Amino acid sequence: MQVSSRTTTGPLPSKTRDLTFVRKLKRDRYLLLLLLPCLLYYLVFKYTPIFGIVIAFKNYNLYKGVLESDWAGLKYFQMFISSRDFWPVIRNTFLLGLYKLVFGFPAPIILALMINEVRKSFLKRFVQTVSYLPHFISNVVVAGIAVTFLSPSGGIVNQILERSGLERINFLVESSWFRTIYVSTDIWQHVGWGTIIYLAALTAIDPQLYEAARMDGANRWKQMIHITLPGIAPAIVIILILDIGKILEIGFEKVYLLATPATYETADIISTYVYRVGMAQGNYSYATAIDLFTGVISFIFIIAANAFSRKVSGSSIW
């Protein structure tokens, strides 16, 4: 007699799925506890404030509250677009973000490649530590260092210029120098921290590729061009897409600390304009509308950059 056995496959009963989920929770409870602070941070400071977007479409009144304030529609968006400050503020923000991208984005890649070529581990760790440290300095301190170094009276930069036979320059009141100062200090502050991702990507490259290249007579330069750069190309593409999306998200603190009324021609960006016109004057709906407008433009930049990268290189975020 022949007995045939048939195995049926299908979705597990709900009770079984619940038991499996509970077991996984018990198994990974310590990892989930480690993840909990990060989840709370994003929930409290990132997702909960999204509710405040509704203020951009209302005549917000502190006494009435968010729900009871009258609807204004697109009034504040139209007010911002039709204002005389719209194009200067957008231009200054875009140019500052563009310069930061053009000069600041390649800097950590170059530094990571240079660190990767260092053969002595002690020297490599020393360079990494020294380059990481400025990232942990607050923007207030960085701005103070820049002001001290560029002071027209006792600044070290002007002392070097004077001893070189050149005239002193009052950098902090020359609008043409503002973008250079901002981008330079930003690169100095974050270039070391930005190398972490690229150094991690470098460790994933198979060492046998370098051995094969050396056997074929390739020097270090050719190894970097044909092995190292292609190996970290996916990481470069992802970081580039994210940086393009942040091209209009220039931080408020450093710009506010370095700018002076004499440099508003190039230093007045969206965040400082929102603070001066929206927050300082109590027009919260106007300030929220400007920030929402900036967020939409940044989202469009990310979508466009991701689509372009996927079409050209095949690498993308999604």
pLDDT in the model for residue 117: 86
Kindly report the number of other CB atoms within 10 A of residue 143's CB atom.
20
pTM: 0.82
Pairing of strands 58-61, 69-71: antiparallel
pLDDT in the model for residue 121: 85
pLDDT in the model for residue 302: 87
Positions of the chain with pLDDT lower than 50, given as ranges: 1-8
pLDDT in the model for residue 96: 93
pLDDT in the model for residue 16: 59
| Nearest alpha carbon to residue 147 among 255, 257, 252 | 257
For the chain, which residues make up each domain, given as ranges?
A: 15-73, 84-312
* pLDDT tens-digit readout, 8-22: 455 555 555 556 778
Could you tell me the fold of the domain covering 84-312?
Answer: MetI-like fold (1.10.3720)
